[in-house]
Chain A
Amino acid sequence: MRLLTHNMLSSNIRGVVNGFPLKIEAVKVVEKSVDMNTDFLKNMFEKIEWKAFVEASVSMGYTELPEEADSSMLDSDEFLSRFHHALLELHLEEGVLVCPETGRRFPVSKGIPNMLLHEDEV
C-alpha cells in the first residue's frame, strides 16, 4: 500500500464521525522506485490531504516532507522528488491501519489492506 492509496482510505465503521486519516503501524516497509511523472504528481497534489500525508510518511520512516505545502512548490524539483518518493515509492507491505476514533485495526498483508467490516460495525 502506497501513501497515495492511504490518503484516500477512511474508516466507515457505523457511528464513526471522522474515520480519516487511518494511523499507520508499519511492520514492513519496502522502497520500490518508480519513474517520476510530473503531470501525474501535479494532478495528485490537488487531491492530497497534506497533513495526513506528512503524518503517514513519518510513520513509514520518511521525514523529509515539509509540514505544509502549496502548489507553488510544485515548481521546485527538490520538492517534487520528495513528494514523488513519499507518495509512490514507499510501500507498506505488512502492518496495520488503525481507525482514529475506535482503534479498530485493519490489517495490511502483502501490501493489500483488508478494509472489510465486521457484522457489528455496519
Chain B
Amino acid sequence: MVVTTSTPTRFSSSLLCYCYSRTFPHFQKNICNNADVTATTSTVPFSSRRRRSRRLLLSMAVKTREQDMVLEEEKKKLQIGIAEFYDESSGIWENIWGDHMHHGFYDPDSTVSVSDHRAAQIRMIEQSLNFASLSQEDPTKWPKSVVDVGCGIGGSSRYLAKKFGASCVGITLSPVQAERANALAASQGLADKVSFQVADALEQPFSDGQFDLVWSMESGEHMPNKAKFVGELARVAAPGGTIIIVTWCHRDLGPDEKSLQPWEENLLKKICDSFYLPEWCSTAEYVKLLETMSLQDIKSADWSPFVAPFWPAVIRSALTWKGFTSILRSGLKTIKGALAMPLMIEGFRKGVIKFAIITCRKPENDEKGE
C-alpha cells in the first residue's frame, strides 16, 4: 500500500473540503456552472445550436471525467486517512479499552464503571446476534464462515470464531491493525480459525456467496459509497446467510425534509474531519438500499439509548493520566479524534446522531423471485 506523507494541516483541509463538498453538493455544481457552458436559445441558428450542443456535451463529459477523478482522488485520501488514523490510534485504544473497538450495550440511563465496559462490549455483540435472529441454540444452524468487514484488531472475529467454531476472515485498511489482530489470534489459540487481511470493504477480495454471516460492527460510517458498501455485503453473503450492520447514522429525515438542518450538517462535518468519515446517511437509507437488493427479513432499530454511557466513559478514560499521556504520545490524528468526542455526545443528545442496527437475510437460491 502506497502511503503518501503530508502535513496534517494540508491533509485535514483537503479532507474538510471533501466532507464539505460531499455534504453540500451545490459546491461542486457551482464549479461546473463557472465553466464555459452556454445555454441554447431558439433565436440562434440551428447549425450553431448543434455545434454548441456538441460543445456542451463534450465539456460536460470532460467535467464528469474530471469530477470522477476528483472523487477517486478524495476517496483515496480518505482511505489513507482512515488507515493512518487507525495505525496511529489502535494501540492506545487497546491499552485502555481492550480488543473490541465498538460501543458497549448498556441499560438506558445507567451509570457504569470502567470494569463494566468490557462486558458491555460483549453484550453489544450478543444483542446484535439476537436482533438478527441468528439461532444460537441449534449448532447445525450456526454460521460456519464469517467475514468481519472493518475488523479493527479482530475482537469480533475472535469472539465469533470461538462462539460458533467458525472460520472468520477480517478485512481492514490498516496494516497495523491486521498485524495486531493476527498476533492476538495466535496468542489466543485461534490462528487456525481467524485471519486478517488488508483490503477495501468497497472491493472485497472474495468470490460471491462465501459467508454465512457478514458482520459490520461500526465500520459502515467510514464507507464513502453506502450503496457500494451494502452491495458488497450482499454479494459476499451466502444464500440464506445473515448480514448484520451496526453503525452510526444521522436521524431519519421527515417526510418534507430534503436534508438535515444546516446546524446539524455543521456538527457532522466537524466529526467527519476528526474521525475520517465521509458523508453520513440515515437508517432509513440503509433499509432502502437493502430493499433494492432484494434482501429479506430487513429489520432496523435505534439503539442510541443503549449506548448513551459510552462517550462520557471514553472521555473520562482520556482524562486519566494514562489516557491523556497516551493520546499525546500517539500523534496528531489521535489528538484530533479525542477532541471530537464531546461532539459525539452533543450529536446523540440532540438527536442528530443515531446508533443503528440493521440486519437482513440473503434469500436462498430457490427463494429468488426474479
A joins B in a complex: yes
Can you spell out 22 A-B residue pairs with CB atoms less than 8 angstroms apart? Answer: A1-B197, A4-B167, A4-B192, A8-B169, A11-B205, A20-B207, A32-B191, A40-B167, A40-B193, A43-B165, A43-B166, A44-B144, A88-B192, A111-B182, A112-B196, A114-B199, A116-B173, A116-B203, A117-B203, A119-B72, A119-B73, A122-B203
A119 and B76 contacting across the interface, CB-CB below 8 Å: yes
Residues of chain A in range 67-122 having any CB-CB distance to chain B below 8 Å? 88, 106, 110-117, 119, 122
A44-B144, A114-B1, A117-B200 are known contacts. Are A4 and B206 too (CB-CB below 8 A)? no
A112 and B175 contacting across the interface, CB-CB below 8 Å: yes
Is B59 interfacial (CB-CB < 8 Å)? no
B207 and A40 contacting across the interface, CB-CB below 8 Å: no
A110 and B179 contacting across the interface, CB-CB below 8 Å: yes
Interface string of A1-45 (1 = CB under 8 A from B): 110110011111000000110000000000010110101100110
Whole-angstrom distance between the Cβ of B149 and the nearest chain A Cβ:
13
Q: Which residues of B contact A8 (CB under 8 A)?
A: 145, 169, 206-207, 210
In the complex the two chains form, what is the Cα distance from A35 to B192 in whole Å?
A: 9
Task: Determine the residue in chain B with the shortest Cβ distance to A41.
Answer: B192
Q: Which residues of A contact B128 (CB under 8 A)?
A: none
In the complex the two chains form, what is the Cα distance from A9 to B206 in whole Å?
A: 5
Residues of chain B in range 150-191 having any CB-CB distance to chain A below 8 Å? 165-167, 169, 171, 173, 175, 178-179, 182, 191
- Besides the contacts A1-B195, A2-B192, A47-B210, what 15 more A-B pairs have beta carbons closer than 8 Å? A4-B195, A11-B205, A19-B207, A34-B191, A43-B144, A43-B167, A44-B167, A47-B167, A88-B192, A106-B205, A112-B182, A115-B203, A116-B79, A116-B173, A117-B203
In the complex the two chains form, what is the Cα distance from A19 to B207 in whole Å?
A: 8
Q: Which residues of A contact B192 (CB under 8 A)?
A: 2, 4, 34-35, 37, 40, 88
In the complex the two chains form, what is the Cα distance from A114 to B98 in whole Å?
A: 25
In the complex the two chains form, what is the Cα distance from A31 to B172 in whole Å?
A: 25
Q: Which residues of A contact B144 (CB under 8 A)?
A: 43-44, 46-47
In the complex the two chains form, what is the Cα distance from A110 to B198 in whole Å?
A: 12
Whole-angstrom distance between the Cβ of B199 and the nearest chain A Cβ:
4
Task: Determine the residue in chain A with the shortest Cβ distance to B165.
Answer: A40
Is B204 interfacial (CB-CB < 8 Å)? yes
Q: Which residues of A contact B205 (CB under 8 A)?
A: 9-12, 106, 113, 115
Q: Which residues of B contact A116 (CB under 8 A)?
A: 1, 79, 173, 198-200, 203
Whole-angstrom distance between the Cβ of B282 and the nearest chain A Cβ:
26
In the complex the two chains form, what is the Cα distance from A120 to B210 in whole Å?
A: 26
